[in-house]
Structure 1
Amino acid sequence: MTKALSLIVLFFVSNVYFCNAQEIMLNLTPQPEFINSSIYEIAEVHDTRPQSEKIGLVYREGNKMVNARFPNSLAHELQNYFSNSIQSRNPQLQKIIVKIEKYDLVENLNSNQIVEGELKIKFGFYAKGSFDPVHLLDFEGGMSYKRSKNRVDLIQNVIQQASENALKYFDQWINSQAMTNRSLANKVRLEVNQPILKSSSDTVFYNSKRGLGWQDFTAKPHAINKYNALIFTSLSMEGKPYVEDATIVLPLIIKVYMLPDQSWVKNKDDYSLNHEQRHFDVTKVVGDRLQYKLKKLDLNPENYEGLVNSAYLDAYREMSLLQKLYDSQTNHGRDASMQAKWNRYLDDALQGDWKNIETIISEKM
């Protein structure tokens, strides 16, 4: 977002001003309590202009042009101005970086020997974080003025007013955006759920009150496959973040499901159906564990996306590992003793007791 502002100013008042024959010294005067902020502070100012030491040349009597500058660097002067004009000292405030992209003072002499001048500025405002600064908006302003050659002191008013305009605009913007702008959020809240979803002929969602039936296995059996049945089961995680009261809210829904058109059976019996149901139970256990781990994450606006995605990928890998271990240890259900043991493990895990499941995982990690 860019703000462009252009003003024409005619000066007829005097100010205290310092100059010598070779240059004109400018200064920015902080305005105590000009901005009373409870949400941000200007933490850093960087001058990104190619020739950061230059401000511009201005006319003096005798049609002589001299250099206009500040006692210190422009970045230093603006940092001092911003810091002392904004009343905010809370360490929890949003830290803002200002990048000076343009700060050019240009003067010309018209036919009536009146100096016509213009100051052009452009500031980029960024939210400071642990990584790269996040761009918020640009302010691009301009102030045009006219003065007599002996009134070089009036340039000070232009410098002062332009800086105040930039700060005032940013303050208005950030206060209007603070509660809803994702870049300005200071907290993250996860809302993780596994709702009971309605199944269809295409997708059967896990429901503890609705066990699988052979009618859920609709794919054509693989004739050359040596196994009696196959189930396709998986889990997904969906959610779209939004900002509320300066907090990123991420509602996540974990879905555990099986796909009938990719699941098949040759010979239908209760023992085989239990084995396939337990594959579904494995996925449900992983979904429960994912929900638990997500709620334990220590999240902030900078890391939440990476940590949430990482938790999901870890869960997916865990699901794949457990499915393989389940089939290998039960010999795809042929080992009745191991099948009974896994039945007990999964019954416990579905009640929240993951001790045996975690032991199995740790032995293979």
Structure 2
Amino acid sequence: MPVFSVKRPVMRRWGWWLVLPVVVLLAAAVPANLRETPLVLQPAKLPFTPTQFYVAQVRDERPNRTAVAWLVPAPAKPGAPLPTAQPVDLQGGGLAAIQAFVRQSLPRNPALRPIQIRLRECRVQEKAAANGTVEGQISLDLAFDYQTPDRLVPLTQYRGGARYVRPAANRSPVEPALRQALANSLVYLNTWLNQAAASDVRLATAVHPTFRYVTRRTEADTVFHDPAHPLTWADFTGQPRPRGQYAASVFPGFAYQGRPRVRNGVVELDILLSIFVVRSSSWVALGQQTALNLNHEQRHFDLVRIVAERFRRKATPDSLTVEDYNSILQLQYLKSFTEMNHLQDQYDTETHGGTDLPAQERWNQRIDADLKKYGVR
């Protein structure tokens, strides 16, 4: 029976180091014609069944793909110096063997997230040690990406490996050590995904936007749209312009702020909409503080609310993707801003600044109907 000692695996932030048993009992010599045969990588029995992912692809990004292992051959005769380490690949080639290892070790469930593994390093390096033994070190560097329909999303990286000592004439400990090191990388991936799935935005599966409106006055120079509190002439604090085409001018606009958080794998997007008038940029000419003029300016404000309501209805769960919800919102906002400016110009042109009373009444009715349609009034 072999005599060995075992050290418990040590967990580091970036992976696992596995210290395998140190075999001190020499086994029978391997025949010379078999020493350089490829390593046959066996599948591993993993301690989990994935619930968050399946491996869709394994890519080889190793700088040196000559072989996976550099092993010290057995000496030509007992007591002779150990030869230099020689390249020994996995049976079928390094990439193909590791792809088969992953495929045979992990169940493949396409209903889960597809994960790509990038093989950045997988190397077994041996050197001669004391008392005719061989020391081996396994180095792994794997990157894991989420394969979305549109792009690859980098997730996490695993760096780890193992060390072992074996008799010079027996390389049988090499494959189990490599197999366990690769298995540990899959255990790490499973643990990381289980922890990150509920809260990492890169793993979110949907976007659910909700909207709130700013109505409470928090700044002296800003008035927010509130059907219960229409504009008054006191909100026009800007310096009056010389009397020209218009008796008054209002300066409305709208903006949004998005506050995302991930809960149970869904981006909950809290969008705060503000439809406002800047008081210091709004003015009324002397003697023009009439109800008709104030109504005309209020309707400018109402048009901005209507455009903001349309913007809100474009931001639906179906229209927003996890990867690009922010840029989609920005594009819709720019389109809505252009629409707002067009409507304001059309409104002033058709009503002649509010002096064409029949046209003004038609716009009053149109605006009231839209505000009612959107539930504002």
Higher mean displacement: 122-131 or 195-204: 195-204
What is the identity, as a one-letter code, of the residue corresponding to 1:209?
A
Q: 2:224 aligns with which of 181, 202, 205?
A: 205
Q: How does 1:242-257 map to 2 (within 5 A)?
A: 242-257=261-276
Query: Secondary structure of the residue that 2:173 maps to in structure 1?
Result: helix
Task: Give the drift of 1:195.
Answer: 5.2
Task: Give the drift of 1:296.
Answer: 6.5
Task: Give the drift of 1:30.
Answer: 2.1
Instruction: Give the direction of change, closer, same or farther, for the CA distance of 1:315–1:73 in structure 2 (3 Å limit).
Output: farther
What is the identity, as a one-letter code, of the residue corresponding to 1:41?
Y
What is the identity, as a one-letter code, of the residue corresponding to 2:328?
L
Q: How does 1:52-131 map to 2 (within 5 A)?
A: 52-62=65-75, 63-64=82-83, 65-89=85-109, 91-131=110-150
- CA offsets 1:134-164 (integer angstroms, 9 cap, x no match): 1111110121111111111111111111011
What is the identity, as a one-letter code, of the residue corresponding to 1:262?
S
Higher mean displacement: 249-258 or 302-311: 302-311
- Tell me which residue corresponds to 1:335: 356
Q: Under a length normalisation based on structure 1, what TM-score does the superposition of the two structures give?
A: 0.89
Instruction: Give the direction of change, closer, same or farther, for the CA distance of 1:150–1:296 in structure 2 (3 Å limit).
Output: closer
Task: Give the drift of 1:224.
Answer: 6.8
- Tell me which residue corresponds to 2:297: 276
What is the identity, as a one-letter code, of the residue corresponding to 2:119?
I
- CA offsets 1:29-86 (integer angstroms, 9 cap, x no match): 2235643112111111111112224213211212344321112233332222223322
- Tell me which residue corresponds to 1:357: none
- CA offsets 1:70-122 (integer angstroms, 9 cap, x no match): 12233332222223322341x33111111111112111112432211111110
Query: Secondary structure of the residue that 2:18 maps to in structure 1?
Result: strand
Q: Under a length normalisation based on structure 2, what TM-score does the superposition of the two structures give?
A: 0.86
Decide whether the 8 Å contact of 1:217 with 1:261 is kept in 2. Answer: yes
What is the identity, as a one-letter code, of the residue corresponding to 1:47?
D
What is the identity, as a one-letter code, of the residue corresponding to 2:160?
G
What is the identity, as a one-letter code, of the residue corresponding to 1:45?
V
Instruction: Give the direction of change, closer, same or farther, for the CA distance of 1:265–1:106 in structure 2 (3 Å limit).
Output: same
Q: What percentage of aligned pairs have identical amino acids?
A: 26
Decide whether the 8 Å contact of 1:2 with 1:137 is kept in 2. Answer: no
Instruction: Give the direction of change, closer, same or farther, for the CA distance of 1:80–1:280 in structure 2 (3 Å limit).
Output: same
CA distance in 2, matches of 1:86, 1:58: 28
What is the identity, as a one-letter code, of the residue corresponding to 2:153?
V
Higher mean displacement: 323-332 or 67-76: 67-76
Number of aligned positions between the proteins: 352
Q: 1:319 aligns with which of 332, 340, 358?
A: 340
Q: Which runs of 5+ in 2 are unaligned?
A: 1-11, 76-81
What is the identity, as a one-letter code, of the residue corresponding to 2:101?
Y
Query: Secondary structure of the residue that 1:180 maps to in structure 2?
Result: coil
- Tell me which residue corresponds to 1:166: 185
- Tell me which residue corresponds to 1:44: 57
- Tell me which residue corresponds to 2:17: 6
CA distance in 1, matches of 2:314, 2:329: 9
CA distance in 1, matches of 2:321, 2:32: 51
Decide whether the 8 Å contact of 2:66 with 2:87 is kept in 1. Answer: no
Instruction: Give the direction of change, closer, same or farther, for the CA distance of 1:21–1:83 in structure 2 (3 Å limit).
Output: closer
Instruction: Give the direction of change, closer, same or farther, for the CA distance of 1:150–1:256 in structure 2 (3 Å limit).
Output: same
4+ aligned runs moved over 6 Å, structure 1: none
Task: Give the drift of 1:128.
Answer: 1.1
Task: Give the drift of 1:251.
Answer: 1.0
Q: 1:228 aligns with which of 233, 241, 247?
A: 247
Higher mean displacement: 21-30 or 278-287: 21-30
CA distance in 2, matches of 1:110, 1:87: 40
Higher mean displacement: 292-301 or 146-155: 292-301
CA distance in 2, matches of 1:197, 1:75: 62
Instruction: Give the direction of change, closer, same or farther, for the CA distance of 1:177–1:353 in structure 2 (3 Å limit).
Output: closer
Q: 2:167 aligns with which of 136, 140, 148?
A: 148
- CA offsets 1:317-342 (integer angstroms, 9 cap, x no match): 11111111111111222222211111
Query: Secondary structure of the residue that 1:104 maps to in structure 2?
Result: strand
Higher mean displacement: 116-125 or 31-40: 31-40
What is the identity, as a one-letter code, of the residue corresponding to 1:223?
P
Q: 1:219 aligns with which of 234, 238, 243?
A: 238
What is the identity, as a one-letter code, of the residue corresponding to 2:128?
L
Decide whether the 8 Å contact of 1:35 with 1:86 is kept in 2. Answer: no
